Amino acid sequence: MRVLAGIAGLAILLIVLRDAFETIILPRRVSRMFRLTSLFYRASWRPWRGIATRLSGGFRENSLSWFGPLSLLLLLALWAFSIVLAFGILQWAAGSALKMDGNAPHFLDDLYLSGTTFFTLGMGDVVPRIPLAKVLTTLEAGLGFAFLAIIIGYLPVIYQAFSRREIAISLLDARAGSPPSAGELLWRYRDDETQRDLVRLLTEWERWAAEVLESHLSYPVLAYFRSQHSNQSWLAALTTILDTSALVIVGFDGWCMRQAQLTFAMARHAAVDLAQVFSARAQVRAKDRLDPESFARLVERLHSAGMEFREEDAGPRLAELRAMYEPYVTALSHHLALPLPAWMHDGKAVDNWQAAPWKTGRTGTPGTEEHF
């Protein structure tokens, strides 16, 4: 019985160490074998999302925003508990070789010794008395010290990646509206006759998409961290850039088409790989984001801005490009409970930068000259 317990304890220890190593130190591959972290997030996110999405108003968004940070802390606690449990089992399998005052040691005493050793408390009321137990205690003490040190370095990395992502999303506010949309972005760049500003924007967002792909593959928990405003998100920004790149590719002569193709390729790469990481599946009955009526209004608005649209072949070609990424962003939207942006504003929303808790002057309406 103790031999089987020792094998089980060793298996738990190796699984947890491998999982923590791949999560914190080793950048993750898109495809991977069974992992404890993946099981943890599948088991916790779905019921959390199911309950939170049934709430109304600010309670819904607040509840969803709590999951990312809270799940990270719970995951770290799960790893620590699993390591303590594994060494407790190993100590028990070694024969509970402990020195104690009073009664004979039991499994709870082995677990207590493991906990005090892992967290380097050194209480001294329970100590190992044979070489094997001493070796296990020494190994756990070293492992616990290294584990806590790595965690201390891990949390700032997560925050820095999140901060860089959100800075770009905040910058998109005045450029594409709140929530962002491809039609609004191109409208606000209607005076860019030389195309340099739009090329620069697409170049920056190509790099942003690459950074999101790298950081969210390595640390998928970042996908659950939500933006400050409920009408902004990393997925909405990524989708807006894909929509914009697709429109530039198929719709406009000379409108920095080459850079749009590069940005589209990088952003689609991010959408596809992240959908695979989260095992997100496309929704069969997903709502069409750009029906014929909306497409006609979008073309009319862009024409009014002086942008020549190749209507004769733009529609079918745009549908082909949309089919390359919309199933993946739609699947991510359903999985993460993050809404996708519209292709064009309805003219009623106000940008986040214009909002204030009290009136300080004139406010604007999307699509007017007050949006630059």
Q: What is the three-class DSSP state of 360?
A: coil
Neighbours of 129 (CB within 10 A): 13
| Higher per-residue confidence, 183 vs 347 | 183
Q: Which of 13-22, 58-67, 122-131, 259-268 has the highest mean pLDDT?
A: 259-268
CA angle (238 as vertex; 237, 241 as ends), nearest 5:
85
What is the reported pLDDT for 324? 94
Q: Give me the percent of the chain exceeding a pLDDT of 90.
A: 42
Tokens linked to 188: 């606000």
pLDDT surpassing 80 at residue 2: no
Inter-residue contact 107 to 92 (CB < 8 Å):
yes
Higher pLDDT among residues 331 and 356, named by residue: 331
Per residue in 228-259, pLDDT (tens digit) is: 888 899 999 999 999 999 999 887 766 688 89
Q: Provide the pLDDT for residue 162.
A: 94
Report pLDDT for 93.
87
Question: What pLDDT digit, counting tens, does each position of 294-349 carry?
Answer: 888 888 888 887 777 665 677 788 889 999 999 999 999 999 999 999 998 876 67
pLDDT at 33 over 60: no
What pLDDT shows up at residue 254? 65
Q: Which domains does the chain have, with CATH numbers?
A: 2-153 (1.10.287.70), 164-371 (no CATH)
State residue 201's pLDDT score: 94
Q: How confident is the model at residue 49, as a pLDDT?
A: 93
Whether the predicted pLDDT of 112 surpasses 50 = yes
Predicted confidence at residue 129, as pLDDT, reads 76
Of the listed ranges 38-47, 166-175, 217-226, 348-357, the least confidently predicted one is: 348-357
Tell me the two tokens of residue 265: 């390729």
Q: Which contacts of 256-263 are long-range, i.e. CB under 8 A and separated by 24 or more positions?
A: 256/195, 256/198, 256/199, 256/202, 259/199, 259/202, 259/203, 259/206, 260/202, 262/202, 262/206, 263/202, 263/203, 263/205, 263/206, 263/209
